[in-house]
Amino acid sequence: MSSISADDYWSSPTTWSRGRLIVICGLDGAGKTTQIEALGDHCRQRNLSVCLTRQPTEWYRRDPFVQSYLKNGGNLSQSYSLALFAAADRHRHINEVIVPALSAGKIVISDRYVFSSLAYFRIRGVADKFVEYINRGIPRPDHTFFLDVPAAVLLKRLQERDGNALKFEEKSEHKLNELRSAFLSFKDLFTVIDGEQPKETIATQIINCVSLAD
């Protein structure tokens, strides 16, 4: 089992424990955005203060090296460099966005979290222990969900949505299967939800699991 499941991996709750951190994971095309918006609306209808955010941030996404890697792939050395950049982006985002929001008592809903780094960098050849080490000391989510969709369905959705503008790792059903398997290897760390269900059914399952009080 990954050492990320150990209590000493996560930071100790302090004042930020007044809020709640909810993470929704899944491959591109799994329906994360729809569910994040639905959960955010649910919070607002109950007069709860909510912060919708995502990892990686634009700082990472807009970097030329990152964009080139995602489009064309890269070698192992580049994969390790990218893992370091992703971890730096995550720590910065947590310090500047997530922890302040949690400290203010907000419900933070994040599109992706450290689990995505663990899955993506595994299939890129980066050692799990390395990814775990450079991401240590982050807040433990109160709830994490993985929207599970078969690779063939994901590929069809992505082709319909993005046409030929697919990322390097999205062009192959085989790669998508590898990513899905990597995520599911950490299934003890989150709640797996069938992403092929109607979006309303998925939203109800997430809301019932989170059980947000007024």
> Would you kindly state where each structural domain of the chain is located, as residue ranges?
3-210
The reported pLDDT for the residue numbered 2 is 77
- Give the tens place of pLDDT for each residue, 51-96: 999 999 999 999 999 999 999 999 999 999 999 999 999 999 999 9
Residues in contact with 147: Cβ distance below 8 Å, sequence separation at least 6, in sequence order: 24, 25, 26, 30, 31, 32, 35, 193, 195, 202
Which DSSP string corresponds to 5-37? Answer: GSGGGSPPP-GGGGSEEEEEE--TTSSHHHHHH
Label residue 167 by pLDDT band (50, 70, 90): confident
The pLDDT mean for the chain works out to 92
d(CA 22, CA 203): 13
Amino acid letter, 100? P
Residue with the bigger pLDDT between 182 and 166: it is 182
CA angle (157 as vertex; 66, 78 as ends), nearest 5: 20
Label residue 214 by pLDDT band (50, 70, 90): very low
Amino acid letter, 191? T
d(CA 144, CA 211): 13
> What 3-state DSSP class applies to 107?
strand
Phi, psi of 25 (to 5 degrees): -115, 165
Q: How far is CA 130 from the centre of its chain?
A: 18
Over 70: is that where the pLDDT of 15 sits?
no
May I ask the CATH architecture of the domain 3-210? Answer: 3-Layer(aba) Sandwich (3.40)
- Give the tens place of pLDDT for each residue, 99-130: 999 999 999 999 999 999 999 999 999 999 99
Cβ neighbours around 8 below 10 Å, total: 9
